[in-house]
Structure 1
């Protein structure tokens, strides 16, 4: 899911070759269907190009600043609580790192959208792979958190609490390894290519239409559907158990993690729905015309921006929902010399292994 001006612009050159060699499909320009694909070049992309040049740099710049500051604060808080860090905190620390690494690539894509790719093919491969590695890692780490909660509450199995201390870290390492494997197409097929028609160089994939469709399916399944299904199942079972047990304290402890999952679904569902529509158009399952293509391209840019915004939402959720996270944040700021403005408040206990991101989250380990 490398950020694009428009995937159709990225693949426009290969589409043109495909059209010239295969005269079996057709484009509908406005109201009139073309009789032959060979008589109709790809649709002009002036509107979506101009939209992306204005929209993407501004959005990516804002997300870069907010995502770096917010996730940097989360990482600092969790690192400062190393002795009391729970398995959930370990997953959330890696999630913050994934979000930081993802937003670090956004300035490069902002330059690509506004002007052209000026950083060479090597950095194109690295930036594209880094972006997708952290896209996959963010979703899969949320799924890991969901599964950890599910085992501890529904089955009273403390997989990470009773196991070796490094077990949660090893799980995160496995997630990073899988994400690196899923990013192999970026290392192989991404390169800085000059487009003669656009008279600009962009970081683009160099493979045919079938490769584009396969990559989209991989991103949809591994980066969205599978993690979302795991999260939905785990939290449905968890909430059912907690409601039956009338564990109000535990329900409060679940607020943040449920909010994080809901935010993930709301941020990424629109983008994947638009990409699904675009893929069906590419495969001929939906009729296409230039007006529809332009609208889909703009919709992809807007919904992708909403998806990237998810990187900035998690720190806000921790700050507004996570009671212990706020306490630990104030403690960290006090250590750094900032005056404590909270007044007299309960300090988080360090005598037991509590999560620093939500109130009494680890109470769920005590059984039902």
Structure 2
């Protein structure tokens, strides 16, 4: 298994570190010596990951398109539908670029040129950062709604939600730029490859990996955990936590993101010290971790369906109704809490 046999479209694999600093492009003369013969279809793991990628593309593309249609055109625009519409757009864009990865994995060669080599992988990190930033925004929104219901009722508007989403996307784009900067096209053993070129700075690989881990995983999850811990403490003795099961869709989305992205970040950190670990283990782990990360893009529409209603009622309503109910239910839960808290504050003010 050579250095490019695993899915370099997704991964931050640093070829130069595995070749004592040699540049990939210096091997362009080997094209006449080595004749490239793809072996992916002969390997069980590679075939399995190809099948998974195709399923993720089909389910994610269609599912998120459906969510965009429902939340963007069929439902009344609210703060909550703005959150979920933005998440669906992020996942939809990511799934739209999956065919590049599927072709590259099957052919074990990059055929789409230098621009797409830089742009297509950046979409993965745009999806990662935009998704986690939006989940943080939703968590903070829930936090403010529970702890400061009167302020939220007066200032929690669609315009503010749209501005917040726009800023989150700008930040996600900024965090995705390093992928485009360090991505490059070269030649290796007679094949054209799209790889990460971290030779410009000796510590650039480690800086990029650690920054992505902190900004795209650890820090956002600390914020989410803090927000939800305070929310649970505040609502622990209220009737809402016993009957309404508030925020269950959001909780499922956060859990899915954590489970899907954790293996990817773990193996990316291990790959920084690749000399200490078995190459085949790292290669397989990075492949599987990337596929799990991609799977998060089709899980969200599924969660909207199966978290929206009780199990017995799922089979009595259409898929559209389930999705619409899932996205609207969180808004109703928050609105009920805001109304109840506002009424309690008004009653209390009459006794002062």
TM-score above 0.5, yes or no = yes
In structure 1, the partner of 2:308 is: 322
Q: Is the 8 A contact 2:67 2:301 kept in 1?
A: yes
Which of structure 1's runs of 4+ aligned residues deviate more than 6 A? none
Tell me: CA distance 1:363–1:163, structure 2 relative to 1, closer, same or farther (3 Å): closer
Q: Which residue does 1:204 correspond to in 2?
A: 195
**Deviation per residue, 1:102-160 (Å, 9 max, x gap):** 11111101112221110100112221222221221011111111110010012325548
Matched, 1:360 2:332: yes
* 1:249, distance to aligned residue in structure 2 (A): 6.3
Alpha-carbon distance, 1:161 to partner: 5.9
Deviation for aligned residue 1:307: 1.8
Distance 1:249 1:365, change over 3 A: farther
Number of residue pairs matched? 312
**C-alpha contact (below 8 Å) 1:193/1:201 kept by paired residues:** yes
For residues 227 and 130 of structure 2, the distance between their equivalents in structure 1, rounded to whole angstroms, comes to: 19
State how far apart, in whole Å, the 2-side matches of 1:112 and 1:255 are: 38
For residue 61 of structure 1, the aligned residue among 51, 54, 68 is 54
**Once the 2 structures are TM-superposed, how far is the Cα of residue 3 of structure 1 from its aligned partner?**
5.6
Determine the structure 2 residue equivalent to 1:17: 20
Matched, 1:267 2:260: yes
**Contact 2:153–2:338 (8 Å) recurs in 1:** no
Closer/same/farther in 2, CA of residues 136 and 249 from structure 1, 3 Å limit: same
**Post-superposition shift, 1:365?**
2.4
Q: Matches of 2:55 and 2:210 in 1, distance apart?
A: 29
Whether the 8 Å contact between 1:95 and 1:138 is mirrored in structure 2 is: yes
Instruction: Kindly state the Cα deviation for residue 227 of structure 1 after the two structures are TM-superposed.
Output: 1.7
Query: For structure 1, which segment, 206-215 or 173-182, has the greater mean C-alpha deviation from structure 2 after superposition?
Result: 206-215
CA distance in 2 between partners of 1:142 and 1:75 (Å)? 17
Structure 1 residue runs of 5 or longer lacking an equivalent are 21-45, 334-341, 349-353
Q: Is the 8 A contact 1:67 1:312 kept in 2?
A: yes
Measured after TM superposition, the shift of residue 217 of structure 1 is: 0.9
**Distance (whole Å) between structure 1 residues aligned to residue 254 and residue 203 of structure 2:** 32
Structure 2 partner of 1:107: 99
Distance in 2, matches of 1:85 and 1:261, equals 23
Change (3 A) 1:122 1:72: same
293-302 vs 249-258, which deviates more?
Answer: 249-258
What residue is the counterpart of 2:292 in the other structure? 306
> Relative contact order (C-alpha < 8 Å, sep 6+): which is higher?
2
- The answer on whether the counterparts of 1:267 and 1:306 sit within 8 Å (CA) in structure 2 is yes
**Deviation (angstroms), 1:293:** 2.2
Change (3 A) 1:61 1:265: same
Shift of 1:67: 0.4
Contact in 2 for aligned 1:85/1:355 (Cα 8 Å): no
Which residue is 1:34 aligned to?
Answer: none
Alignment partner, residue 235 of structure 1? 228
Give yes or no for contact 1:270–1:303 (8 Å, CA) kept in 2. Answer: yes
User: What is the aligned partner in structure 2 of residue 295 from structure 1?
Assistant: 281
In structure 2, relative to structure 1, the CA distance for the partners of 1:243 and 1:187 (3 Å cut) is same
Deviations, residues 322-355 of structure 1 (Å, cap 9, x unaligned): 149x89x94968xxxxxxxx9xxxx98xxxxx95
Contact residue 85 and residue 356 of structure 1 kept, 8 A: no
Which structure 2 residues correspond to residues 86-105 of structure 1 after superposition, within 5 A?
A: 86-105=78-97
In structure 2, the partner of 1:162 is 155
Deviation of 1:50 (Å): 5.0
Cα distance in 2 between the residues matched to 1:318 and 1:66: 14
- DSSP-derived class of the 2:130 partner: helix
Against the structure 1 CA distance between its residues 68 and 153, is the aligned structure 2 distance closer, same or farther, given a 3 Å change threshold? same
Give the corresponding residue for 1:36.
none
Q: Which runs of 5+ in 2 are unaligned?
A: 1-5, 24-38, 342-352
**How many angstroms apart in 1 are the aligned matches of 2:320 and 2:151?**
29
Instruction: Spell out, residue by residue over 1:53-76, the C-alpha distance to the aligned partner (whole angstroms, 9 max, x if none).
Output: 434322221110010111111111
Distance across 2 between alignment mates of 1:254 and 1:288 = 43
Residues 182 and 249 (structure 1 numbering): CA distance in 2 closer, same or farther, change over 3 Å?
A: same
Change (3 A) 1:355 1:14: closer
CA distance in 1 between counterparts of 2:118 and 2:185 reads 9
What SS is found at the alignment partner of 2:185?
strand
